[in-house]
Amino acid sequence: MEPEITCPLGSKCEEIKDNKQYRCAWFTRIAGTLPDGTATDEWACAISWLPVLTLEMSKTNRGQTAALESFRNETVTGQQQFNQIMATATQKLEN
């Protein structure tokens, strides 16, 4: 048996009536790469895209967090080296 997907709001994504094409405002085209690496270019309800987009946002945030942590670690290392140089220079000036 094949499932029939219906709109929980009772609407149709696209419909032709009276020689006009009616399209739901939430019927959205997504083109790009899904989190599993497969390419996609399809139309679907924006509400149905939310889980996929949420996963992609999480993946992006993890990458940004890792880059920011790396930058922070480099900054701390640089500051420690600068403090050591300044301490050495101050000692030499005092002698």
User: 32: pLDDT confidence band, cut at 50, 70 and 90?
Assistant: confident
User: Whole-model pTM?
Assistant: 0.57
Q: What is the mean pLDDT of the chain?
A: 89
Amino acid identity of residue 26, one-letter, is: W
With residues binned 3-state (H G I as helix, E B as strand, rest as coil), the percentages for the chain, rounded to 5, are 50, 25, 25
Q: pLDDT by residue (tens digit) across 70-87?
A: 999 999 999 999 999 999
Average pLDDT over every residue of 11-23: 88
